[in-house]
Homo-oligomer: A and B are copies of this chain.
Amino acid sequence: MLSKAEIQRLRSLRDKKHREALGLFVIEGEKVVNELLAARHPFEEIYGTASWHGRRTREVSGEEMSRISSFPTPSTVLAVGRLQTHPLEPRALGSGLTLALDGVQDPGNVGTLIRIADWYGLSRVLLSPDCADLHSQKVINASMGSFARMKIHSVDLVAALAEAGVPVLGCDLEGDPVHALEAGEAAVIVIGSEGRGISQAVRARVTRFVTIPRYGQAESLNAAVAAAVVCDNLRRRGRG
């Protein structure tokens, strides 16, 4: 039996401010919990009904699950993880490729961008404070398990980029064509917000603007698509 206090605590984790106060987050659904378990995410608690066949720290009834779940149709599992706050080590950006998200608001975009960083073997992802909340269900869902595999840091992006010591590439509609980009060993790829692009303060830290050549008439590409094309070009030339 879950106590009333336990149910309230679990329900409170839907809100960012309670997540931050308790240092915990919650995630629901068989698919996403299985993805995170496969990536060895160290959950604190896993509440599963009798129909859940994965790892479980506590069995709950269907009725209890419907009380702790935020889903209209509850799944068989709800897991609680610890908020990960990795401080960014000094000079960390000096090695490998970094994806830096500057105010990316859409949770699906943030999750997809983390997945792309994982596909292309980037070393880390930086999130500015005004990005969608990393520990929300939608971000973690969209990351398809990459949330658990990538090093992700929430940082003051302007300060972090000021000390990068490596090329800071800003993806923009105007810039050097990404097809001709010479790729070094280390760089930061900056992706701006869906509506307004890279913020003024971050633009001041960009050392080179890059653009994806356009052959037709669409006005833009979405943030995740643009990031993937830039990563693909950097990796291709790095190995070429």
Residues on A lying within 8 angstroms of B by beta carbon are 112, 115-122, 144-146, 149, 179, 212-222, 224-225, 228-229, 232-233, 235-236, 239-240
Kindly state the separation between the CA atoms of A118 and B219 in the bound complex, as whole angstroms: 9
The answer to whether B232 and A118 have CB atoms under 8 Å apart is: no
Q: Which residue of B lies closest to A39 (CB)?
A: B217
A219: chain B residues at CB < 8 Å are: 144-145
The answer to whether A222 and B118 have CB atoms under 8 Å apart is: no
Q: List the 7 closest A-B pairs by CB distance, nearest first.
A: A121-B215, A121-B216, A118-B218, A119-B218, A225-B228, A179-B236, A118-B216
The answer to whether A228 and B221 have CB atoms under 8 Å apart is: yes
- Say how many copies of this protein the assembly contains: 2
Kindly state the separation between the CA atoms of A119 and B229 in the bound complex, as whole angstroms: 13
A118: chain B residues at CB < 8 Å are: 216-218
Kindly state the separation between the CA atoms of A212 and B233 in the bound complex, as whole angstroms: 11
Kindly state the separation between the CA atoms of A116 and B222 in the bound complex, as whole angstroms: 9
A224: chain B residues at CB < 8 Å are: 222, 224-225
Kindly state the separation between the CA atoms of A233 and B178 in the bound complex, as whole angstroms: 11
Given A115-B218, A118-B218, A232-B232: 20 more A-B contacts, CB < 8 Å: A116-B218, A116-B221, A118-B217, A119-B214, A119-B215, A119-B218, A119-B221, A120-B214, A121-B214, A145-B218, A149-B216, A179-B232, A212-B232, A213-B235, A221-B228, A222-B224, A224-B224, A224-B225, A225-B228, A228-B228
Kindly state the separation between the CA atoms of A138 and B140 in the bound complex, as whole angstroms: 23
Q: How far is the CB of A187 from chain B (nearest CB, A)?
A: 14
A122: chain B residues at CB < 8 Å are: 216
Residue from B117, B145, B218 within 8 A of A144 (CB atoms): B218
A236: chain B residues at CB < 8 Å are: 179, 213
A214: chain B residues at CB < 8 Å are: 119-121
With contacts A220-B144, A233-B232 known, is A116 near B225, CB below 8 A? Answer: yes
